[in-house]
Amino acid sequence: NEWWDRVRPAPEDPIIGVTEAFLSDSSPFKINLGEGAYRDDEGKPVVLECVRKAQAKIAGSEFLELVSATVGSNLVEECVKLAYGKDSNFVKERKFAGIQALSGTGACRLFAEFQRRFYPESRIYLPIPTWPNHHNIWRDAQVPQSTFRYYNNSTKRLEFSAILDDIKNAPDGSFFLLHPCAHNPTGIDPTEEQWQEISYHLKVKNHFPFFDMAYQGIASGNLDKDAKAIQILVEDGHLVACAQSFSKNMGLYGHRVGCLSVLCADNKQAKAVRSQFQQIVRAMYSSPPVHGILLVSTILNDPELRKLWEEELEVITSRIMRMRVVLHQTLEELNSSLSWDHITNQVGMFCFSGLSPEQVEQLRSRFHVYVTHDGRISMGAVTTSNVEYLANAIHEVTK
């Protein structure tokens, strides 16, 4: 009986597995469209200009100490303004509990832990499909999970009446995970009117809306517009929670900067909730790394850098949108017999192509094009020089 004999390999992560297969492919034509990482039109990783400038601004002022309470609470304050709007009463009256988190993943994990501690009887409802890691995160926090229908694979549209039915059929007081914008992987978001209806039905059942906002600014190019869903639910009287990430919209993937916030009925409740967040963090990792937090709070507090950030977000989203248009057009020029309108109807980082697992496999083996098994293509890595090759490959495997 040797130690660790009982340990078997864990199942392959659907996204990391694609990158590993890509790295071991020696073809010069290979393209990795698995990971949701933004690239410029040359296919190179991007360091935003606002980040470079913030970096220069903080150089020398950084100490290898814990993130100071001032910088930390300032980051949270700026984050809640981004999510709920700077004029929100919750923000003005400080009726929120917020804490910096290890990016979006860490914010989700903290919330899942918090949920289990205080509402062990409630389930989390996840959309089908969703970012696969949501399932892992709530599983590891030992929160029972269910799913709700979201997307119809054959119409390639929202399955709106099914969303409402599943909200109505969930036990009262359930938690619902919602993507406020740029739904991953489908790229399809409810309209404002649909959010109103969703809000109404969640309220009737006293469900709790948890927003995972990993792509603010990446759907429309505008930060406020992308947070509209959250603001609709808040105006409708919901107390909501929100996980925020700066991985995509500031390109800070490796720095792990994020925020978890929960709206509260009053200051007293906000203090209690925040103290519980602090206790959870204390035992998990004590405190977050400082550098990324300083970068983000520098950008959010400096009007010039903030403006530059907003301009750069528009550049990112318009480049992605242009690639969607070219991909769509090229498939039509190739006389594909299928409709590819969904490529341009979807928003955000991903094209949920509708390719079957067999077609995805053929993309890999015949064309060295790597996408996830569900047919999700990362548009952030499609460029002027690879878009025609990609269109041709898609056309060949769907003939």
Q: Between 134 and 395, name the residue whose CB sits nearer to ligand PMP.
A: 134
Q: Between 100 and 184, name the residue whose CB sits nearer to ligand PMP.
A: 184
131 carries an active-site annotation: yes
Candidates 32, 100, 105, 249: give the one binding ligand PMP (CB under 6 A). 105
The amino acid sitting at 384 is: T
Q: Between 72 and 95, name the residue whose CB sits nearer to ligand PMP.
A: 72
Marked catalytic residue, from 138, 156, 166, 212 = 212
- Tokens for 158, please give them: 């929202």
By DSSP bridging, strand 376-378 and strand 350-352 are antiparallel
Candidates 18, 22, 34, 36: give the one binding ligand PMP (CB under 6 A). 36
- Please state the closest distance from residue 18 (CB atom) to ligand PMP, in A: 13
Q: Between 250 and 305, name the residue whose CB sits nearer to ligand PMP.
A: 250
Marked catalytic residue, from 53, 95, 248, 340 = 248
Q: Between 122 and 184, name the residue whose CB sits nearer to ligand PMP.
A: 184
User: Rounded to 10 degrees, what is the CA torsion of 297, 298, 304, 306?
Assistant: -30
203 carries an active-site annotation: no
**By CB under 6 A, how many residues form the interface with ligand PMP?**
13
The reply to whether omega before 144 is within 30° of 0 (cis) is no
- Please state the closest distance from residue 27 (CB atom) to ligand PMP, in A: 26
Cβ pair 139, 168 in contact under 8 A: no
By the rule CB under 6 A, 292 interacts with ligand PMP: no
Candidates 88, 103, 199, 346: give the one binding ligand PMP (CB under 6 A). 103
By the rule CB under 6 A, 249 interacts with ligand PMP: no
The reply to whether omega before 129 is within 30° of 0 (cis) is yes
Q: Between 245 and 330, name the residue whose CB sits nearer to ligand PMP.
A: 245
By the rule CB under 6 A, 184 interacts with ligand PMP: yes
Cβ pair 223, 191 in contact under 8 A: no
Order across the sheet with 208-213: list the strands.
96-102, 257-263, 241-245, 208-213, 175-178, 124-128, 145-149
Instruction: Name the helix (H) or strand (E) containing 98.
Output: strand 96-102
Q: Between 103 and 398, name the residue whose CB sits nearer to ligand PMP.
A: 103
Marked catalytic residue, from 131, 138, 309, 340 = 131
User: Rounded to 10 degrees, what is the CA torsion of 251, 360, 22, 7?
Assistant: 100
- Tokens for 143, please give them: 């929160």
Distance CA 373, CA 380 (A): 18
Candidates 100, 186, 220, 245: give the one binding ligand PMP (CB under 6 A). 245
Candidates 122, 247, 330, 353: give the one binding ligand PMP (CB under 6 A). 247
Q: Which listed range, 54-62, 100-108, 225-233, 352-360, lies at the site for ligand PMP (CB under 6 A)? A: 100-108
Site string for ligand PMP, 123-162 (x = CB under 6 A): --------x-------------------------------
Say which residues have a Cβ less than 8 Å from residue 207's Cβ, sequence separation at least 6.
125, 167, 170, 172, 173, 174, 175, 176
User: Rounded to 10 degrees, what is the CA torsion of 114, 172, 135, 260?
Assistant: -40
By DSSP bridging, strand 96-102 and strand 257-263 are antiparallel
Cβ pair 288, 105 in contact under 8 A: no
- Please state the closest distance from residue 34 (CB atom) to ligand PMP, in A: 11
189 carries an active-site annotation: no
- How close are the terminal C-alpha atoms of the chain, in Å? 55
Site string for ligand PMP, 189-228 (x = CB under 6 A): -----------------------x-x--------------
Candidates 34, 72, 98, 104: give the one binding ligand PMP (CB under 6 A). 104
Interface with ligand PMP (CB under 6 A)? 36, 103-105, 131, 179, 184, 212, 214, 245, 247, 253, 258
Active site residues: 131, 212, 248
